[in-house]
Chain A
Amino acid sequence: MSGRAELDVAAIRKDFPILEREIRGKPLVYLDSAASAQKPRAVLEAIQNFYANAYANIHRGVYQLSAEATALYESGRDRVQGFIGAADRREIVFVRNATEAINLVARTFGETQFKSGDEILITALEHHANIVPWQMLGGRRGTKLKVVPVDDRGELDLQAYEALLGERTKLVALTHVSNAIGTILPLKKMIALAKAKGIPVLVDGAQAAPHTRVDVQDLGCDFYAFSGHKLFGPSGIGVLYGRLPLLQAMPPFLGGGDMIETVSFEKTTYAEPPNRFEAGTPDIAGVVGLEAAIDYVEGVGIDAIEAWEQSLLAKADAALTEIDGLRIIGRARDKAAVLSFVLEGIHAHDVGTALDQAGVAVRVGHHCAQPLMTRFGVPATVRASFSLYNTPAEIDVLVAALRETRELFG
């Protein structure tokens, strides 16, 4: 993964107003895009323009403004459909974030399809968002959680996975990319193995959508969840993709306006997907912003983004490996631009505070993946994550700040 990608990072940085900020008198070095990505001007302007010129509620009014707002909202759905290669626009449900998307599936599909003793198979790499909803479901329905282990590199044990795909497995719920250590799962192969046994597969794509091409039909998954805010879109908008026959068979998630067909006090009939799952006034401006974000990503080119991030990862990995006492957690061969590490004898939070002094923003802690931290025997790590607007020079700032941190705590 060496060589220069065709990505003009200087031009890209000009698209992100926040990158002009200083933190404690130093230029901001934002290495926390895996937590949330910064927003390009195009997204900010799209939202501003929508509120200033085309805002009204959707799916209701007969007046022109409402029709315009509805058209914008629904064109966002078309845009997402194209972005992830869904077969039908009705397969795109707007939610708040990937967490809500997974909870939606647990509360509707899980609640009606699973019974006591059924197994849900997840991996040791999961974010709490793809663990806790299934545990909550288990509390209500008596389902069991099974976990595919990872090896010392942070790669999934595929033999164990195959062995765990059993008679009782009713759902496989997998992350596409580990948020904590960057491992990219061999998703297509894993999905094929599950589907060969007739087991539906949900993918938590929160970390994948901003960095790699997602094609849900090629992957063959049944559900795919992601968040807008990690994709340079606004916070508060996310997407659940679900195969249409599954969505059609699922009961509603929340009850209210916009998700109904007819209501009387005796009986209510529900709208078809996706409206069935979009009760109440949705985040209309969020969808407008998300569409602008997808336009932005596709304008730069997802392949160029991926190549650029991989070049940053290679440089950072090499540079950090040189630092005495620094141990990188997770050395998967197929890995996204996420570097999780510990500095011997220095707690991650102290490292985070020290880096902040140098203007470097990183995530420290368990990254909402406590079981994975336990697997590697660390209470917390420092995580630097790279995105399209990061530069090799910023990696130099990170490395220098880490060396100073080591000196201070010596």
Chain B
Amino acid sequence: MTQTTMVMGLSLLLLYPSQLLLIGRFGWVMAALLGIAWLSSVWLLPALLAGPLGRITEGIEYHFQVNQSLQRPGGVPPEPVTASGLRAAVATQGR
């Protein structure tokens, strides 16, 4: 997300010095909108999900196959996953 936003925002900012005022304004407004969209998806949405209102989304159904290697047998609650383990598990199951 960060990389795509940076690439798109910087390339749209190239339109700013355009002699046609319409195009120049389109460029910087679009870049500003991309920046705010990045803020809203990377900062605002996780903050909303982690806050008290995030309990709404905890009941959402889970469609992906849970990796068995992350769960202990016998009904024991799974041990907390680390970020690297999660990344590896997600990478093996594909996106």
Answer yes or no: are A and B bound together in one complex. Answer: no
